Structure 1
């Protein structure tokens, strides 16, 4: 085991495929382990470099490796693909990860802290509530349309749907359908409360973080954007300057140059979609209403 210079791990839900390379790049180790046996293996292995793709569970495993004294490296999956040889299987993937990690020009992903991942969970749950609320409003609107009523797309109207029906629309609704609408409307109101709860959690995190307060001094940046930066940007030192960060988010022009002729297209839309969306919404708010813009 002392000959292993770098260990590539292909991560799955319950099993892990390991391939070890020596200092010259030759394969000297190959094994398939369960999650429990993997932890025992890493704890009893001499200190080495452990590489894996940046995917679900990789940040947790990387922190475990660091706790055992190993050097953990996370690689974006798209940078591993060119090193996959011939057919694809789990051991070939692990071998490609080990080889990609040895490249001098390889770009690695910074390991997220536990608190950053918790913020990501809060944001994902909030996003799921937003999607459920949109779907709930669409269902109520489609139900009413089946009975001859075109419901306006507005949260104010949705919150007072029954007053709207009586005041602005005289179409009768069957009693059983009215009960179904009431149940669905209660679900809509519950989702509103759940979203507000998630917003409060994010606000509390931002209020107690010095970096987030500094981010909020930027026009258009509010609790959502600041908390997203805390969760998604593991280490600001990974970026040489602001333009590099903008390129990582996908806000810089996409380049398609050839024959010495530079050609810049629209924004690349690469990288972090959620963070890019928040920055664009914040910029739009500042441009449209510079004096009354609401930070996002």
Structure 2
């Protein structure tokens, strides 16, 4: 049984480190490419294994590789780390990704299709907005409390108190602080 050719990608925003290893385990090349040249390489390569760390843009690049008939192997960065030798560079990372993708027992990430990725993006964003709103509310309560003004729990109580504190006739907070509470 022959080994597959492996193209490993160390993903980044503007430059992608691409390492290609043939079925005999020989390093054919390991060079930095633009995203467009990486797409061209994937389009012009016969079906092979495309290996990547499961990080930002993984699902996008995995779908691109799959559209050209490649088998995608995405791995958690912590699973790849033991296979990276020497200094941490993009070139060494790409080689480590290629080596890790061939190891027995390695677990691979499932590639999300576009609708699955959309649902995940909405869920993650909602959680982030909720944490941010809670954090901002707590900050505003603490800021007011520093001046002796207390606010009951709940979003409605916060809104009412901030409206009251920002009114021109309110003397609960100094005039310099009131603009900080404008939403």
Corresponding position of 2:5:
5
Provide TM-score, normalisation by structure 2. Answer: 0.84
**Higher alpha-carbon deviation: 128-137 or 11-20:** 128-137
Corresponding position of 1:27:
27
Query: Higher relative CO (CA 8 A, sep ≥ 6), structure 1 or 2?
Result: 2
The answer as to 2:162 corresponding to 1:172 is no
Corresponding position of 1:143:
143
Structure 2: gaps spanning 5 or more residues? none
Q: Are the counterparts in 2 of residues 157 and 164 from structure 1 also a CA contact under 8 Å?
A: no
Provide TM-score, normalisation by structure 1. Answer: 0.54
Within 5 A, what are the aligned runs for 1:129-278? 129-161=129-161, 172-173=171-172, 176=175, 180=179, 184=182, 187=183
Q: CA 1:157–1:177 in 2, change beyond 3 Å: closer, same or farther? A: farther
Task: Name the count of aligned residue pairs.
Answer: 177
Structure with the higher fraction of residues in helix conformation? 1
Corresponding position of 2:64:
64
Cα distance in 2 between the residues matched to 1:174 and 1:86: 58
Q: CA 1:162–1:20 in 2, change beyond 3 Å: closer, same or farther? A: closer
Shift of 1:50: 0.7
Cα distance in 2 between the residues matched to 1:88 and 1:180: 47
Cα distance in 2 between the residues matched to 1:162 and 1:87: 53
- Aligned residue for 2:110, secondary structure, equals coil
Q: Are the counterparts in 2 of residues 4 and 20 from structure 1 also a CA contact under 8 Å?
A: no
Structure 1: gaps spanning 5 or more residues? 166-170, 188-296
Corresponding position of 1:98:
98
**Higher alpha-carbon deviation: 152-161 or 61-70:** 152-161
Cα distance in 2 between the residues matched to 1:104 and 1:40: 30
